[in-house]
Structure 1
Amino acid sequence: MKTRLFIAVIIILSGAAMLSSQLGIIDVRNVSSVFWPLILIAVGAQRLYKIGRFNIGGAVMVLFGMIFEIEALHLVPYSAEVFIAPCMIIIVGISLLFPRRKAFNR
């Protein structure tokens, strides 16, 4: 239920932002380039918190969100593509450290 509420709020805010852009109130292109990676970070963190253990999908979402946010804020002089391959290799290594537990059928 909380996930559905989160998605609904994101959709409503996206629609409101698009409407305000059409009306000339704010320029969504500048705002959205900075804030859309935060959605990846929030969803990934929610997946990590919900499961309560290392989740490769949640970790990838948080990592990519951080990479794209750093690029959007121009904190490093490189593009996001420079970081993706090395980060994927690091994630694979971390996932090997935390193997999945097999479920037992009862």
Structure 2
Amino acid sequence: MKGKHQGVQSRLLETNPRALFMPCACHSLNLTLSDLAKSCSKAITFFGVVKIIYILFSSSTKRWRLLLDHVPKMTVKSLCNTRWESQIKSVHAFRYQAPELRKALL
């Protein structure tokens, strides 16, 4: 935990005031991309549609089976708010099997 006031960072600084905290570059990039996606209206709309389609299929086993019948190689996945790579994984079905996904929706 890197909490500035109650986490490991603050405890280390109590022990050694000269300790230097360096945030992880990959995690910082993930947070930056997540914030960027939240500020783009097209990205908000796109990921909103992905989330709605996931909710539609995952809320019913019958609909999930229908999805698996039409899109056998991969399925839609839920979105994570902070992990950019999980959002990429969740759109694979949309990118690679859009016609099959469309048939499942119809």
Mark yes or no: TM-score above 0.5.
no
Rg larger for: 2
Q: TM-score, normalised by structure 1?
A: 0.28
**Greater share of residues in helix:** 1
